[in-house]
């Protein structure tokens, strides 16, 4: 009998040890197992959103990625898979301009597959409709709220908001490293960094950060991101070219007279257009501003619906258009005609601040207050005067670049963009020619050495896809195709 009891006790001890071992294996697997498998349980895949009738006809995922664990900096993203071939089509990290404009602005108003039904809106909650000419027809797109403080991105400590342009580029590399590790099925897709407006600075800064890490990783045998190139639309690049380009643009478009044009050209040096150094130049620019102040700078042919909302600080056609950020402020609702794009911008506030929408998107309680389509990032530091050297560095290392302008944009004109491209000194390898969409001229393009393509988008403003979506979709699809030509 004692022998039987001892045998039973031995079996119990053995079973307890086995259970303990199994428990330990589970803990180890959770802690050190496949990141993709662990992340799969955390992915917020969304099939329905408030305002859209029925299930979404595309794959949408949202989430946060921590890019600074010291200050708890969390960048929020919307990921939409390509509707064509997700495992083969390009992967684009898209950064809206500003700095401080939400990724939803790019998703709803530029290149995404959802739009507000502005024409049909009367009151209440806005309706969303499917948009056929989205870039997600032919590419996987990560719409990212960046820099931190933009959209739904946040930092748990206030110091985390104190970032620079180059610091944000470093954080976006961290974002992509972690995101790709959690989505290994997209590691081999061709990767492009894209953006518009102010992101004309952030895109090449981020691309160079990735390129440098790739080189360092290659030397040490580490992993590489499959970066193929980058694209910038209506891009801010260098005030010494962007701002002076406005005068010949306005003259060529018939907005100012020969006399006003000549007075500015004679009196102002290249650096005078931001801060005039002499009275004659200041007077010439004042005269130009006086006659163009009611022109819509984002598209010179469209109504300027924000006339009542001008920045009391005295913004002019030659300064940054901070005044435009006021146009969609809900505190300044106006009875605007349907053709005013501001109406759509305002609907985005109603949608984004809705409690059900936030729950669907997975927005963390208390992370931010009221959402803003475009916000002023008071802690953000612009520490790069010119990104022209970044373009030179990247293209000479073999990365492809597409630079394009809406040809009716006064904010960042095609004149200014072509001026800084010329300073790169690249020979033309394919002369200026029209490019086509739906058998019509969609703009003009030229190609330079080192895989640099430049294009205009005919009739487009700031930014080009918002005004000419079909043409811009064709432009993207052709440029990212094996032929790589518009």
Please list the active-site residues.
Answer: 197, 409, 462
Segments of 96-190 assigned E as strands: 114-116, 128-130, 140-144, 154-155
275 and 298 in contact (C-beta within 8 Å)?
no
DSSP for 270-333 reads GGGGTS-SSHHHHHHHHHHHHHHTTS-TT-TTS--TTGGG--TTT--TTS--GGGGGTT-GGG-
Q: How far apart (Å, rounded) are the C-alpha atoms in residues 464 and 472?
A: 7
CA dihedral 255, 266, 423, 205 (to 10 degrees): -60
400 and 476 in contact (C-beta within 8 Å)?
no
Q: How far apart (Å, rounded) are the C-alpha atoms in residues 32 and 23?
A: 14
Nearest by Cα to 435 from 464, 400, 395, 466: 464
Chain centroid to CA 272: 30
Taking the alpha carbons at both ends of the chain, their separation in whole angstroms is: 90
- Give CA angle at 386 (381, 388), nearest 5°: 140
Q: How far apart (Å, rounded) are the C-alpha atoms in residues 127 and 125?
A: 7
- Give CA angle at 288 (417, 253), nearest 5°: 50
Q: How far apart (Å, rounded) are the C-alpha atoms in residues 431 and 161?
A: 45
Residue with tokens 């959103």: 49
Which token pair is 180? 């790709």
446 and 439 in contact (C-beta within 8 Å)?
no
φ and ψ of 371, to 5 deg: -75, 150
Residue with tokens 């992370």: 367
Question: 267: helix, coil or strand?
Answer: helix
220 and 171 in contact (C-beta within 8 Å)?
no
The residues with which 196 forms a beta bridge, in sequence order, are 233
Q: How far apart (Å, rounded) are the C-alpha atoms in residues 79 and 427?
A: 38
Which token pair is 432? 């200026």
Q: Which helix (H) or strand (E) holds 419?
A: helix 414-423
């Amino acid at each position: 009998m004692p022998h039987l009891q001892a045998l039973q006790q031995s079996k119990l001890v053995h079973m307890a040890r086995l259970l303990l071992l199994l428990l330990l294996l589970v803990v180890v697997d959770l802690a050190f197992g496949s990141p993709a498998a662990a992340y799969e349980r955390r992915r917020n895949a969304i099939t329905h959103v408030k305002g859209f009738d029925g299930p979404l006809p595309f794959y949408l995922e949202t989430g946060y990625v921590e890019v600074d664990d010291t200050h708890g900096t969390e960048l929020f993203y919307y990921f939409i898979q390509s509707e064509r071939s997700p495992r083969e089509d390009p992967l684009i990290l898209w950064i809206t301009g500003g700095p401080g404009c939400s990724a939803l602005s790019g998703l709803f108003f530029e290149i995404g597959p959802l739009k507000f039904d502005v024409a049909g809106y009367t009151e209440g909650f806005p309706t969303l409709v499917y948009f056929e000419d989205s870039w997600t027809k032919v590419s996987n797109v990560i719409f990212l709220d960046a820099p931190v403080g933009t959209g739904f991105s946040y930092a748990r400590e206030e110091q985390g908001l104190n970032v620079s342009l180059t610091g944000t580029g470093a954080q976006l590399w961290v974002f992509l490293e972690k995101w790709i590790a959690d989505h290994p099925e997209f590691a081999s897709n061709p990767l492009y960094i894209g953006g518009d407006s102010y992101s004309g600075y952030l895109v090449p800064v981020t691309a160079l950060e990735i390129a440098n890490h790739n080189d360092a990783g290659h030397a040490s045998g580490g992993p590489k991101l499959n970066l193929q190139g980058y694209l910038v639309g209506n891009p801010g690049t260098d005030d010494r070219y962007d701002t002076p380009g406005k005068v010949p643009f306005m003259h060529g478009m018939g907005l100012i007279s020969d006399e006003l044009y000549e007075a500015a050209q004679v009196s102002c040096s290249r650096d005078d257009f931001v801060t005039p150094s002499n009275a004659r130049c200041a007077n010439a620019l004042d005269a130009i501003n006086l006659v163009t102040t009611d022109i819509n700078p984002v598209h010179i042919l469209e109504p300027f619906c924000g006339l009542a909302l001008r920045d009391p600080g005295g913004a002019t056609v030659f300064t940054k258009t901070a005044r435009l950020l006021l146009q969609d402020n809900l505190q300044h609702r106006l009875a605007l005609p349907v053709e005013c794009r501001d109406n759509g911008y305002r609907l985005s506030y109603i949608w984004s601040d809705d409690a059900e929408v936030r729950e669907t998107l997975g927005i963390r309680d208390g992370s931010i207050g009221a959402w803003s389509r475009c916000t002023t990032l008071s802690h953000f530091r612009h520490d790069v005067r010119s990104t022209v050297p970044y373009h030179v560095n990247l293209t000479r290392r073999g990365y492809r670049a597409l630079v394009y302008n809406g040809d009716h944009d006064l904010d960042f004109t095609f004149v200014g963009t072509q001026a800084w491209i010329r300073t790169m000194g690249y020979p033309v390898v394919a002369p200026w020619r029209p490019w086509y969409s739906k058998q019509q001229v969609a703009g003009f393009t030229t190609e330079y050495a080192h895989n640099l393509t430049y294009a205009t988008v005919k009739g487009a403003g700031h930014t080009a896809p918002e005004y000419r979506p079909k043409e811009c979709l064709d432009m993207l699809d052709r440029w990212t195709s094996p032929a790589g030509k518009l």
